[in-house]
Chain A
Amino acid sequence: MTSPGLCKRMNILSVEDNPGDVRLIKESIRGGKAANCLHVVQDGMEALLFLHCEGKFADVPRPDLILLDLNLPKKDGREVLAEIKADEQLRKIPVVVLTTSQADEDILKAYGLNANCYVTKPMDLEDFMRVVKSIEEFWLTIVRLPPERDG
């Protein structure tokens, strides 16, 4: 795992409480072309601390992409999403909701809160890895991201 803060490539923040899925995501990204840095937080609170560079996350870089699970402890993913998108600075960061749920209401909610897209975690391993890779590729190579501000 690349240590956070020193990556010259893109930074991906994964907000995921399931260690299994964390590992899978890691595995998926590792096989990717670019050596992007993956940062992981396990709950909603930490996610926000990370994004605000607070507490133990004082020196973390700003992520270029957030992979957000919905069902999170401490602070629910939907709340995190809401807060991110409410924040002037943070809202520019694309948020990909990556969750098990196929529920329509979750999808609606997520888009309602201005998630950039919604992806259901595939059951199949291969599919899973492919999807994650695709996400990475799409958002970090194909899509033009907003230029970073100074500081």
Chain B
Amino acid sequence: MTDTPIKDLLIPLRQYVVGALILGLGTIVSTILFFITRELEERRTREHFELIASQQIDALKTAITAHGEFVYSIRSFYDGSNEVDRLEFRAFVISALTRHPSIRAAAWIPRVPASQRKAYEQSAREDGYINFQITEQNLHGTLVRAAQRNEYYPLYYIEPSVDNNRIIGFDIASDPYLMTQLLRALDSPFIVATKTLQSMQFPGKDSGALVTLPVFAKQKPTITLKERQTNLRGFVLALADLGHLIKEALAHLPGQLNEILITEVTDSLEEMPLYHYTTDGQPVANSNAKAQFKDKTRLYFRAPVEVANRKWNLHIIAGPGSFTRTGLGAEWATLTVGLLFTGLLALYFLRIKERTQTLAAAQTLAEHRMQEAEQARTEAERSERKFRNLLESVPDAILMANEEGKIILGNKQTERLFGYTQQELLGLPVEALMPERLRTRYVKQRADYAANPQVHAMGSSLDLWALKKDGTEFPIEINLSPVEGHEGVTVLATVRDITERKRTDKAMALRAQQLHRSNAELQQFAYVISHDLQEPLRMVSSYVQLLAKRYQDRLDSDAEDFIGYAVDGANRMKKLINDLLAYSRVTSRGKPVATVGCEAILEQALANLKVAMEESEAVVTHDPLPTVTVDETQLAQLFQNLIGNALKFRGEQPPKIHISARKNGEFQVSSSTSQVAKDDGLEISNLQSEISNPQSEVRNPKFPIQNPKSAEWVFSVRDNGIGIAPEETESIFTIFHRLNEKEEYPGTGIGLAICKRIVERHGGRIWVESQPGKGATFHFTIPDHGGMSL
């Protein structure tokens, strides 16, 4: 997984690169589209404009042509007639005038030689123009009678006559410029913009166009200029109101307001602006045609038209505000949309990437999780295996039951114990494993248990029984634990076959009973010893004494001796019995231990021996003695016996007895020199008191408490008495063993046996070091439990 960090790093990087790429591409594409759109837009506009414009131009052309044709028709009229008088002229042109409102005026300009001036004037006056004369403009601009010249070219017929009363009769020839222009018409039809005729006061002079056609004499040659000049009759003239013409021509066309610029292409191929109108016939104020050309922001459409042999260019210029490339066009929309789209795309892409990344991350996570789950599952499996192994390793039968009381798990031991196979066990109701008589009670208990599940041991005291597959019953002990698992609350039961234990218990109970009985018997035995044996003894003793007393004067010395032996024997018997009783009582009457100071106990023992001590002038010394946990009485007895012996078995000198104690770190198992396996009744009374008096934890010398850490106290009682032969040092502790003649040293020989019993009861041991004639040192150990009770 080491490339993950790098990958993680690359992902954002790549992401950004791609994002940037997308953005870039998108922008480029958008821009391209922008331009394309713009182009298309422009084209469309242009085409649209061109369409309109061409329509307009065509219309214009048609109108102009019609206009031109009108003039031609007038000429034709003249060509076709010798004379055309005013009325005829009027009649002819009136209809056209009516038909084409753009034709403002039509005029006939005859060539009037000077000689015919008067005639013409007269004729005109006769036609109705009372004050007709051929006029000219003076310096002030007023119309005055024309000066004499060779030829006059007056405006003779003008229609509509009403409007043109003032100028009728004006001599074109008076204005050289105008004349020149007029004469130019000799070559070709001549159109002149009235603007140029500034000197003339033509109505509508700003918006007019004059078309002039020469009329020649009939059937005269007109090929050469000269011929033309010679044969010139006059001119026909039509004045067109261009604005009107335009308006009229374009009225029926849809379209925005454009401008029409009419230019004339001069011979030098320069364009000379003539007229500048709007498409609704209004002259454009502040016309700066030349500048318009330069203004590329406005669409214009140009078409050439030949009018009266003049080459004109009709320019349709898109009106301000229309067809112009300004501001927010579709291209911008496209661009905006494009950029927006790009942006969105980029965003989307980024989002995608992000999502992909998230997805990838999620996937990685999922993989992780899966791995973890895998691990967990493996763990779980391992755990499960461990569990199962554990289950199988336990010597008890383990069962699990669900809430309905059906077995869901059982280990091998269960199979063995109950005699079912695993398959048979699963799903079996728990009560199937019980004897019938216990089933109802169990079902109720199960309900109780389910309501309040706890760890619950139901044991031998409840006398529970189980049922094997083959129908045999056996006693069991059950331990219940609730287990919370994914299957709900289940119960884990540990079932132990306690048949053996019951048997053992029974055997033990029996044995205890037997022991108890035998102890009772022994108790009785001890009682018998103490009482019933003594009774006859007493009889013997008493009556022998009575005999001696009553018949003493009749008895001889022999008799007295005999009586003495008898009595003595009885007494000794009594003593023996008492000693035996004392010996047995070491354990049967053993009291609970207490922590006592040995010195106090020693004092007590010495107090009991006071008389003997005084008699023998004994000196008893001791070292500081410890505090031990012992049966006080018995320790006193111990000291008393040992010291008493020391006093008894003294030598020549007065007895010097010294008692000391030291601590021994090492604790050894008490070397059991007392053969506990003895079947003497007194050993068993040991056991009895163990059973009946658990407080006095009688230590069985065979099984002393081993505690390596605990120490023991070694007491020593040293005397300067007669000593003991080494070979006897073991046997002197035997019961009733006497080394000496009974006469020399009284005693039954039980003293040391009692000492040994006392010491061993406390878990210690006793031994003697001695040499004959060199006194004896008796050692005994008392374990130091540091507070532990025996």
Of A76-84, A97-105, A107-115, A136-144, which stretch is located at the interface?
A97-105
Interface range for B: 10 to 19
Determine whether the beta carbon of B531 is less than 8 Å from that of A100: yes
Determine whether the beta carbon of A27 is less than 8 Å from that of B546: yes
Q: A20-B543, A24-B546, A27-B546 are in contact. Are A121 and B531 (CB under 8 A)?
A: no
Which residue from B534, B537, B549 sits with its C-beta under 8 Å from A125? B549
Which residue from B530, B531, B541 sits with its C-beta under 8 Å from A124? B541
Determine whether the beta carbon of A125 is less than 8 Å from that of B527: no
* A128 lies within 8 A of chain B by Cβ: yes
Determine whether the beta carbon of B542 is less than 8 Å from that of A24: yes
* B539 lies within 8 A of chain A by Cβ: yes
* A88 lies within 8 A of chain B by Cβ: no
Determine whether the beta carbon of A125 is less than 8 Å from that of B546: yes
- Which residues of B lie under 8 Å from residue A71 when comparing CB positions? 531
Bound complex: CA of A126 vs CA of B537, how far in Å?
A: 15
Bound complex: CA of A126 vs CA of B571, how far in Å?
A: 14
In B510-534, which residues have CB < 8 Å from any A CB?
Answer: 527, 530-531, 534
Determine whether the beta carbon of A125 is less than 8 Å from that of B545: yes
Determine whether the beta carbon of B535 is less than 8 Å from that of A125: no
* A89 lies within 8 A of chain B by Cβ: no
Which B residue sits closest to A21, measured CB to CB? B539
- Which residues of A lie under 8 Å from residue B545 when comparing CB positions? 124-126
- Which residues of B lie under 8 Å from residue A21 when comparing CB positions? 539
- Which residues of B lie under 8 Å from residue A1 when comparing CB positions? none
Which of B537, B541, B542, B545 is the most central at the interface, judged by chain A CB atoms within 10 Å of its CB? B542
- Which residues of A lie under 8 Å from residue B570 when comparing CB positions? 123
- Which residues of B lie under 8 Å from residue A100 when comparing CB positions? 531, 534-535, 538
- Which residues of A lie under 8 Å from residue B538 when comparing CB positions? 100, 121, 123
- Which residues of B lie under 8 Å from residue A116 when comparing CB positions? none
Bound complex: CA of A18 vs CA of B527, how far in Å?
A: 18
In A6-46, which residues have CB < 8 Å from any B CB?
Answer: 18, 20-21, 24, 27
Q: A20-B542, A20-B543 are in contact. Are A123 and B571 (CB under 8 A)?
A: yes
- Which residues of B lie under 8 Å from residue A101 when comparing CB positions? 527, 530-531
In B62-83, which residues have CB < 8 Å from any A CB?
Answer: none
How far apart are A69's CB and chain B's nearest CB, in angstroms? Answer: 10
Which A residue sits closest to B589, measured CB to CB? A104
Q: A24-B546, A125-B545, A125-B549 are in contact. Are A18 and B530 (CB under 8 A)?
A: no
* B276 lies within 8 A of chain A by Cβ: no
- Which residues of A lie under 8 Å from residue B549 when comparing CB positions? 125
Determine whether the beta carbon of B531 is less than 8 Å from that of A125: no
How far apart are B244's CB and chain A's nearest CB, in angstroms? Answer: 166
* B765 lies within 8 A of chain A by Cβ: no
Bound complex: CA of A128 vs CA of B259, how far in Å?
A: 177
* B205 lies within 8 A of chain A by Cβ: no
- Which residues of A lie under 8 Å from residue B537 when comparing CB positions? 123
* B574 lies within 8 A of chain A by Cβ: yes
In B532-561, which residues have CB < 8 Å from any A CB?
Answer: 534-535, 537-539, 541-543, 545-546, 549
Determine whether the beta carbon of B530 is less than 8 Å from that of A125: no
Determine whether the beta carbon of B574 is less than 8 Å from that of A123: yes
Determine whether the beta carbon of A125 is less than 8 Å from that of B542: yes
Which A residue sits closest to B523, measured CB to CB? A105
Task: Tell me the dominant secondary structure on chain A's binding face.
Answer: loop
Bound complex: CA of A27 vs CA of B549, how far in Å?
A: 12
Which A residue sits closest to B548, measured CB to CB? A125
How far apart are B255's CB and chain A's nearest CB, in angstroms? Answer: 150
Which residue from A18, A24, A128 sits with its C-beta under 8 Å from B535? A18
Bound complex: CA of A83 vs CA of B539, how far in Å?
A: 29
Q: A100-B535, A123-B537 are in contact. Are A128 and B530 (CB under 8 A)?
A: no
How far apart are B717's CB and chain A's nearest CB, in angstroms? Answer: 30
Determine whether the beta carbon of B530 is less than 8 Å from that of A102: yes
How far apart are B25's CB and chain A's nearest CB, in angstroms? Answer: 120
Determine whether the beta carbon of B542 is less than 8 Å from that of A128: yes
- Which residues of A lie under 8 Å from residue B543 when comparing CB positions? 20, 24, 125
Bound complex: CA of A24 vs CA of B538, how far in Å?
A: 11
Which B residue sits closest to A125, measured CB to CB? B545
How far apart are B122's CB and chain A's nearest CB, in angstroms? Answer: 201
Which residue from A20, A27, A103, A126 sits with its C-beta under 8 Å from B530? A103
How far apart are A101's CB and chain B's nearest CB, in angstroms? Answer: 5
- Which residues of B lie under 8 Å from residue A103 when comparing CB positions? 527, 530-531
Bound complex: CA of A125 vs CA of B550, how far in Å?
A: 12
- Which residues of B lie under 8 Å from residue A128 when comparing CB positions? 542
Bound complex: CA of A123 vs CA of B570, how far in Å?
A: 9
How far apart are A11's CB and chain B's nearest CB, in angstroms? Answer: 25
Q: A18-B535, A100-B534, A100-B535 are in contact. Are A123 and B541 (CB under 8 A)?
A: yes
Bound complex: CA of A147 vs CA of B203, how far in Å?
A: 192
Which of B527, B531, B535, B538 is the most central at the interface, judged by chain A CB atoms within 10 Å of its CB? B538
Which A residue sits closest to B581, measured CB to CB? A102
Determine whether the beta carbon of B542 is less than 8 Å from that of A18: no
How far apart are A37's CB and chain B's nearest CB, in angstroms? Answer: 22
Bound complex: CA of A101 vs CA of B571, how far in Å?
A: 17
Determine whether the beta carbon of A125 is less than 8 Å from that of B541: yes
Bound complex: CA of A102 vs CA of B585, how far in Å?
A: 14
Bound complex: CA of A15 vs CA of B537, how far in Å?
A: 20
Bound complex: CA of A20 vs CA of B570, how far in Å?
A: 16
How far apart are B621's CB and chain A's nearest CB, in angstroms? Answer: 36
- Which residues of A lie under 8 Å from residue B574 when comparing CB positions? 123
Bound complex: CA of A24 vs CA of B545, how far in Å?
A: 11
Bound complex: CA of A27 vs CA of B546, how far in Å?
A: 10
Bound complex: CA of A115 vs CA of B457, how far in Å?
A: 53
Q: A102-B530, A103-B527, A123-B574 are in contact. Are A18 and B539 (CB under 8 A)?
A: yes
Which A residue sits closest to B545, measured CB to CB? A125
Which A residue sits closest to B578, measured CB to CB? A102
How far apart are A70's CB and chain B's nearest CB, in angstroms? Answer: 9
- Which residues of A lie under 8 Å from residue B539 when comparing CB positions? 18, 20-21
- Which residues of B lie under 8 Å from residue A18 when comparing CB positions? 535, 539
Bound complex: CA of A124 vs CA of B537, how far in Å?
A: 10
How far apart are A124's CB and chain B's nearest CB, in angstroms? Answer: 7
How far apart are B30's CB and chain A's nearest CB, in angstroms? Answer: 124
- Which residues of B lie under 8 Å from residue A27 when comparing CB positions? 546
- Which residues of A lie under 8 Å from residue B531 when comparing CB positions? 71, 100-101, 103
Bound complex: CA of A8 vs CA of B538, how far in Å?
A: 33
Chain A interface (Cβ < 8 Å from any Cβ of B): 18, 20-21, 24, 27, 71, 100-103, 121, 123-126, 128
- Which 6 pairs of residues, A with B, have the shortest CB-CB distance? A125-B545, A20-B539, A125-B542, A101-B531, A100-B535, A123-B538
Besides A123-B571, A124-B542, A125-B545, 7 more A-B contacts (Cβ < 8 Å) are: A100-B538, A103-B531, A123-B534, A123-B541, A125-B542, A125-B549, A128-B542
Q: List 26 A-B contacts (CB under 8 A).
A: A18-B535, A20-B542, A21-B539, A24-B542, A24-B543, A100-B531, A100-B538, A101-B527, A101-B530, A102-B530, A103-B527, A103-B530, A103-B531, A121-B538, A123-B534, A123-B541, A123-B542, A123-B570, A123-B571, A124-B542, A124-B545, A125-B541, A125-B542, A125-B543, A125-B546, A126-B545
